[in-house]
């Protein structure tokens, strides 16, 4: 088992990574302070892992579970309310711990429910997708979508523990594995050039689900993200580099309707847009955008805008993105692979040209 | 103008108290960091004060407002969503400030909306009822109700400023003035015996809305509450004394349906129940419960259970109250007027007897 610590003062917590972890009681009993637990999962994950987790929780006084519908389309206040319904119907008090068993949607909603239930209860993440293991389970961003924007309602809320059972990746559909790799590639792009090179050399092993390669990629991604988050927990500055490709990606998700493109797929195309914009600005070369495109191709990820989206769709959607501050669009661009910077002065013409370079009409 | 500081490290904020404050631009411009504001109010308060506040906000770039339906019955996730709708439709970004103009319901929902919108934006309270001035605007508790329990969904979130315009009390209905006085009396009961005596001597002046008496009562209440909150912001211990009478009061509100009894009225009856329980325990004398009853009578507040509530209604409702921890009911009892303590070992028979002493069958 590998472990690393996310350093956030009195909100610090460990991430444990290894095979078979979600069935081992000790990890839960060590981290959970109360005697009540609610496992939040979804209809896809429940048949695969819920029984195993409930067995590992046998020692607690009150063990309940709730199954949410699967998918980003259900990441809403209404679905969130189902978690509150269960907590109240089953009379969970302030000492309860919410355990998120599932991907990013389950994690984001469970974490937000934990942040809000009785103004805050404990929270453990058991992410079961590559995307949630390397991204959403680290850093404390929780929340739900609004019809007018993604993740617009939420909280910064840290878990007591993140338990990454690498075995769960064996049941992950190919498309979701690839979507998770988009965020893995992102860490290489924004702050870890040696990791980017490692990914260029090891993408085949990752797609073949080689456990050692996956463990390494997950651990290195978590460590990269944890370092950025430790510097700037509430995203007042540098943490925003983690949004590389995301402002474009959110526009794709919002316009296409949540769930049609997977988050990682939208981010993949968004990273190419941000890279092209960096190139147009004269910061990186065409060689570097090509390396990104080649790695994404290897990972079976898109690099182009959805065919039916026009430039104006992006401009409109991006103007309500959270990265807008006092009316200025803030984007993450690259000086080199591994060296990102936040800018607020993108000329509209360059933005349009970058979008066109990625197929937006 | 009187001012006091709520001491919470980097979340400290000032409370300004005086006549005419809500029409004075300088208070807003001094406290608000961004260029966008959303005033959240309700249909009752809007005709009285909204225009004045909007005039004071003229200097900002983006000034919007939203009117919620009036009443505790609307303190729900659905109503909360109307605030998010407005923020997103009007394209408010992360630099926006939400201004709560109204009573406790408006304040609790606005504060919670501020805590959640884009994971946290700034927040200013302009409380217009006595209850919200002395209670809900100090201490950062925000949230909404759930059909199965009051304030079950929320956050601890501190404002940048609380602006108490004492003139707003001139338009407050008598019944709401009295309801506010319940919380004022509470501070005397739990931590400020000299203030309790002052209230015994000055209740007539308060009911006659003497501005000097009201200003003194508001300022002293805020100072008492601020001192308790500064010691224990997240209610891990002593802060819970502020819930004196509230566990009973919440039961009354929950069973009667929110809004039928005003919060302060329910708390008044609840304080008598808690006082009777303290007496049964041998902590305070019948003289002290009588002093409380006499002062509540003077303030036109109830001291008895609603006629249609039976003992079991209380026991059932109280078992889901937030003050339950690991299955134990935590209550605030009194050693003397001005000296409260939290206990978790109330014998059920004493609880039942105290409820009966207040008319529950």
Q: What is the percentage of chain B residues whose pLDDT exceeds 90? A: 83
Q: Do A324 and B94 touch (CB under 8 A)?
A: yes
B104 assigned ligand-binding residue: yes
Which residues face B66 on adjacent strands?
B40
Enzyme catalytic residues of B:
119, 141, 183, 225, 235, 239, 243, 246, 250, 263
Residue of A78, A119, A147, A152 to mutate, interface with B, max B Cβ within 10 Å: A119
| Token reading at B126 | 């302009």
Q: Is B70 annotated as a binding residue?
A: yes
Q: Does the annotation flag B129 for ligand binding? A: yes
A116 interaction partners in chain B (CB closer than 8 Å): 116, 143, 153-155
Question: With an 8 Å Cβ cutoff, are B88 and A234 in contact?
Answer: no
* Helices and strands: H and E segment counts in chain B: 13, 13
> Which segments of chain A have a pLDDT < 50?
none
Q: Do A116 and B35 make contact, defined as CB atoms within 8 angstroms?
A: no
Strands B339-343 and B331-336 turn out to be antiparallel
| C-alpha–C-alpha distance, residues A317 and A213, integer Å | 37
Three-state SS at A256: helix
Which pLDDT band, with edges at 50, 70 and 90, does B72 fall under?
A: confident
Q: What is the Cα–Cα distance from A357 to A360, expressed in whole angstroms?
A: 7
Q: Please report residues of B whose CB lies closer than 8 A to that of A232.
A: none
Return d(Cα B141, Cα A157) in angstroms, integer.
17
Which of A87, A118, A139 should be substituted to probe chain B, the one whose Cβ sees the most B Cβ atoms within 10 Å? A118
pLDDT of residue A218: 97
- CATH architecture of structural domain A174-357: Up-down Bundle (1.20)
Residues of B with CB under 8 A from a CB of A: 34-36, 77, 80-81, 84-85, 88-89, 91, 93-95, 115-120, 141, 143, 146, 148-149, 151-156, 234, 319-320, 322, 324-327
> Would the annotation count A29 as a binding residue?
no
Q: Is the pLDDT of residue B322 over 70?
A: no
Rg (C-alpha) for chain A, rounded Å, is 20
Give the pLDDT confidence score for residue B71 in this predicted structure: 87
Name the residue with higher pLDDT: B55 or B250.
Answer: B55
Task: Provide the pLDDT for residue B1.
Answer: 87
Alpha carbon distances (Å) from B258 to A88, A302, B63, B140: 17, 52, 32, 22
Q: Which pLDDT band, with edges at 50, 70 and 90, does B345 fall under?
A: confident
Active site residue A335: no
Tokens of A116: 């809000």
B44: number of Cβ within 10 Å? 17
Interface test with A, best of B111, B118, B140, B150 (most A CBs within 10 A): B118
> Residue A273, SS3?
helix
Taking the C-alpha atoms of residue B220 and residue B200, their distance in angstroms, rounded to an integer, is: 15
Tell me: pLDDT of B321 over 80.
Answer: no
Catalytic residue (choose from A27, A219, A243, A291): A243
Q: Is B170 among the annotated ligand-binding positions?
A: yes
- Beta-carbon contacts below 8 Å between A and B: 103
- Nearest C-alpha of chain B: how many angstroms from A241? 17
Report chain A residues whose CB lies below 8 A from the CB of B95: 325-326
Provide the pLDDT for residue A260. 84
Query: How do the domains of chain B map onto residue ranges?
Result: 2-171, 174-357
CB B182 within 8 A of CB B136: no
Q: Average pLDDT for residues B43-66, to the nearest whole number?
A: 97
Q: Is A97 labelled as part of a ligand binding site?
A: no
- The nearest alpha carbon in chain B to A147 belongs to B85
pLDDT at residue A257, as a whole number: 79
The verdict on a CB contact (< 8 Å) between B94 and A327 is no
Q: Flag if A148 and B88 touch (Cβ within 8 Å).
A: yes
pTM for the whole thing?
0.88
CB within 8 A of A212, min separation 6: which ones?
none
> Which CATH class name applies to B2-171?
alpha beta
Q: Answer yes or no: do A116 and B143 touch at CB < 8 A.
A: yes
Specify the long-range contacts of residues A329-332, CB closer than 8 Å, at least 24 apart.
Answer: A329/A247, A330/A240, A330/A247, A331/A247, A331/A274, A331/A277, A332/A190, A332/A240, A332/A241, A332/A243, A332/A244, A332/A245, A332/A246, A332/A247, A332/A274
Tokens of B272: 């008598």
Nearest beta carbon to residue B95 from set A80, A155, A325: A325
Whether residues B153 and A94 touch (CB distance < 8 A) is answered with no
**Mutation site, A153, A154, A242, interface B, largest B CB count within 10 A:** A153
Burial B239-250 (b: 16+ CB within 10 A, else e): bbbbbbbbbbbb
Asked if the Cβ–Cβ distance from B325 to A95 is below 8 Å, we say yes
Query: How many angstroms away from the CA of B120 is the closest CA of chain A?
Result: 7
**Which pairing describes strands A339-343 and B2-6: parallel, antiparallel, or unpaired?**
unpaired
Q: Tell me, what's the pLDDT at B235? A: 80
Look at B149 and A85 and tell me if their CB atoms are within 8 Å: no
Please state, in angstroms and as integers, the Cα–Cα distance from residue B201 to each residue in B196, B204, B294, B299, B304, following that order. 9, 8, 12, 12, 24
Q: Is B183 annotated as a binding residue?
A: yes
Q: Is residue A143 within 8 Å of A55, Cβ to Cβ?
A: no
CB contact under 8 A, B141 and A119: yes
Of B80, B116, B152, the CB nearest to A154: B116
* B77 contacts in chain A (CB < 8 Å): 77, 80-81
Is B108 annotated in some ligand binding site? yes
Q: Which of A6, A34, A112 is nearest to A68 (CA)?
A: A112
Q: Max CA-CA distance within chain A?
A: 61
Tell me whether residues B116 and A153 touch, CB distance under 8 A: yes
The reply to whether A235 belongs to the active site is: yes
Measured CB to CB, residues of chain A less than 8 Å from chain B are 34-36, 77, 80-81, 84-85, 88-89, 91, 93-95, 115-120, 141, 143, 146, 148-149, 151-156, 234, 319-320, 322, 324-327
- In chain A, what residues touch B119 (CB-CB under 8 Å)? 141, 143, 151, 154-156, 234
Q: At residue B205, does pLDDT exceed 90?
A: yes
Nearest CA in chain B to A113: B153
Closest CA to A321 of A225, A234, A245, A224: A245
Q: Which of B95, B152, B234 sits opposite A88 (nearest CB)?
A: B152
> How many other C-beta atoms are found inside a 10 Å radius of the C-beta of residue A279?
21
Main-chain dihedrals φ then ψ at residue A360, nearest 5 degrees: -75, 135
Known catalytic membership, residue A349: no
**A243 is an active site residue:** yes
- Measured CA to CA, the distance from residue A31 to residue A158 in angstroms comes to 13
Strands B2-6 and A2-6: unpaired
Distance CA B291, CA A164 (A): 60
- The candidate with the shortest Cα–Cα distance to B142, out of B96, B88, B83, is B83
The secondary structure of B145-198 as a DSSP string is: EETTEEEEEEEE---SEEEEEGGGGGGS-HHHHHHHHHHHHHHHHHH-HHHHHH
């Amino acid at each position: 088992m590998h472990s690393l610590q996310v350093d956030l003062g009195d909100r610090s917590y460990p991430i444990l990574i290894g095979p078979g972890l979600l069935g081992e009681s000790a990890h839960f009993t060590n981290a959970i302070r109360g005697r009540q637990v609610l496992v939040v999962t979804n209809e896809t994950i429940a048949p695969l892992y819920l029984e195993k987790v409930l067995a590992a929780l046998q020692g607690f006084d009150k063990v309940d579970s709730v199954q949410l519908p699967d998918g980003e389309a259900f990441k809403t206040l209404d679905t969130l309310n189902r978690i509150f319904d269960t907590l109240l119907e089953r009379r969970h008090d302030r000492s309860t711990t919410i355990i998120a068993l599932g991907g990013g949607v389950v994690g984001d909603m469970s974490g937000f429910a934990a942040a809000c239930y009785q103004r805050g209860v404990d929270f453990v993440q058991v992410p079961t997708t590559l995307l949630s293991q390397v991204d959403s389970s680290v850093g404390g961003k929780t929340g739900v979508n609004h019809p007018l924007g993604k993740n617009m309602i939420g909280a910064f809320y840290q878990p007591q523990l993140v338990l990454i059972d690498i075995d769960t990746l064996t049941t992950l559909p190919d498309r979701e594995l690839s979507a998770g790799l988009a965020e893995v590639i992102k860490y290489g792009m924004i702050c870890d050039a040696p990791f980017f090179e490692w990914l260029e050399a090891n993408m085949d092993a990752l797609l073949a689900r080689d456990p050692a390669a996956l463990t390494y990629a997950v651990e290195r991604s978590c460590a990269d993200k944890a370092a950025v988050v430790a510097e700037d927990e509430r995203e007042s500055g540098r943490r925003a580099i983690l949004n590389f490709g995301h402002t474009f990606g959110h526009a794709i998700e919002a316009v296409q309707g949540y769930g049609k493109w997977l988050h990682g797929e939208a981010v993949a195309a968004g990273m190419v847009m941000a890279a092209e914009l960096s190139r147009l600005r004269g910061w990186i070369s065409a060689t570097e955008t090509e390396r990104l495109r080649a790695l994404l191709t290897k990972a079976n990820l898109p690099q182009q805008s959805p065919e039916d989206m026009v430039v104006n769709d992006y401009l409109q959607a991006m103007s309500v993105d959270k990265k807008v501050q006092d009316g200025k669009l803030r984007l993450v661009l690259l000086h080199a692979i591994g060296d990102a910077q936040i800018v607020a002065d993108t000329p509209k013409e360059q933005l349009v040209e970058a979008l066109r370079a990625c197929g937006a009409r």
